[in-house]
Each structure stands twice: as C-alpha cells, then as structure tokens.
C-alpha cells in the first residue's frame, strides 16, 4: 500500500536529496506544515517547518525504516537549527498521522537517546499532522537541479539497526503484532 510520511529536519533541500533514492520511497515533495497560516510560502510561513512529504510503498519499506533514515541524516539534538539554518522553520519534527506513528516515533527517539551517538538528547518534536502545502516549484528537487547547492545534511550514521537489540521491525507497530 502507498503511504505518506511527514518529516522536518532542517532545510528541506538536503532532506529531500537523502530520501529520494531510499528503498521503497516512490516520491518526495518539499513543503510546509505545522504552522499558523494557510497557503504558506518561503517568504510567509509563520510557525511552519520546512518539511518533506515522503510517499512510500509499505511493502518495500516502513515508517520505522524511514525513522531510522531520518535520525541518521540530520542532527536531532539541535533546537531549531541544522547547520547554518536557524529558526523554528528548521526544527526537527515528526508530524504523525496516527497514534501508531506517534508510538513508533517515541520508541525510535528512545533508541537514538540510548545509543549515545549524540552528546545531547534528542529535541525532535512530535506534532500531529494537520495540513500540507507544497513549497514553490524552485524548491522541488533543488539539489538535483542545482548540483553543488547548499545542504546541511549528510549521512551521519548508516543505520541505528546495527546496535545490538535494535529491532528492524517496530516493536510498537500494529503491523508487527
């Protein structure tokens, strides 16, 4: 089944670039969510996060595996900042659509904190998903269209699944039961 996930972890250009070819991801779209106005733009998006809509095939990947990738490619311990980008637009956030997604996110945050791979605790917020607004056309596929363009993302860790005892299937997912 095709599903969508909504994640924010700094500038959406780099996040999109590192998810676009991830196994099971069928599409990505940069945009805005979690803020105060309808139809936000880059110049007017109070409270919104620069975020990524990830369309994925749940027969090839899972929300749990997307979380593993998410926490491996941005610093979830910096409040409202990734690299040189600062402000609430650049917060680390998971916009959950179901209580199952929220439970999986809480469980993965515990894994990241327990791993001690970061010197500080995770500050990623868990926010209920409300609405999605695509970013302007020039923000879509930005790093593909502008090779060498700015990004503050990189692969910090290949995976958290290499830690003994970390399950590849979510222990909280209703699909795992």
Q: Is the pTM value of this prediction over 0.85?
A: yes
Q: Structurally, how many domains does the chain consist of?
A: 1
CATH code of 10's domain: 3.30.1060.10
Residue from 63, 50, 49, 90 nearest 4 by CA: 63
Averaged pLDDT in 10-residue chunks for the chain of 177 residues:
96 92 97 92 85 97 98 96 89 97 98 97 98 89 82 92 93 63
Asked if 152 is an active-site residue, the reply is no
Identify the domain containing residue 58 by its residue range. 2-176
Q: Which one of 5, 7, 8, 11 is the catalytic residue?
A: 11
Q: What pLDDT score does 177 carry?
A: 39
Residue from 5, 15, 9 nearest 89 by CA: 9
Q: What pLDDT score does 174 carry?
A: 62
**Cα separation values, 98 from 67, 71, 132, 151, Å:** 15, 20, 16, 30
């Amino acid at each position: 089944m095709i599903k969508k996930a909504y994640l924010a972890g700094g500038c959406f250009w780099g996040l999109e670039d590192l998810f676009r070819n991830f196994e099971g991801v069928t599409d990505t779209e940069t945009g805005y969510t979690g803020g105060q106005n309808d139809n936000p733009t880059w110049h007017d998006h109070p409270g919104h996060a620069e975020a990524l809509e990830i369309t994925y095939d749940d027969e090839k990947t899972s929300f749990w595996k997307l979380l593993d990738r998410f926490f491996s490619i941005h610093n979830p311990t910096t409040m409202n900042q990734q690299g040189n980008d600062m402000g609430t637009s650049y917060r680390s956030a998971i916009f959950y659509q179901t209580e199952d997604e929220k439970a999986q996110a809480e469980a993965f945050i515990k894994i990241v904190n327990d791993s001690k791979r970061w010197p500080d605790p995770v500050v990623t917020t868990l926010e209920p998903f409300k609405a999605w607004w695509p970013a302007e056309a020039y923000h879509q596929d930005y790093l593909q269209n502008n090779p060498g363009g700015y990004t503050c993302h990189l692969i910090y860790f290949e995976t958290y699944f290499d830690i003994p005892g970390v399950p590849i299937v979510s222990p909280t997912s209703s699909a795992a039961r």
